[in-house]
Amino acid sequence: QQQVKQSPQSLIVQKGGISIINCAYENTAFDYFPWYQQFPGKGPALLIAIRPDVSEKKEGRFTISFNKSAKQFSLHIMDSQPGDSATYFCAAFDSNYQLIWGAGTKLIIKP
The reply to whether 73 sits near other proteins by the rule CB under 8 A is no
Smallest distance from other proteins to CB 19, Å: 19
**CB under 8 Å to 51, separation ≥6 — which residues?**
31, 32, 33
Binding residue for other proteins, selected from 11, 20, 48, 103, defined by CB under 8 A: 103
Site track 21-60 with other proteins (rule: CB under 8 A), x = hit: ----------xx-x-x----xxxxxx--x-----------
* Dist. CA 90–CA 9, nearest whole Å: 12
Q: 3-state class of 80 per DSSP?
A: coil
Which residues form the interface with other proteins (CB under 8 A)? 31-32, 34, 36, 41-46, 49, 89, 93, 97-99, 101-104, 106
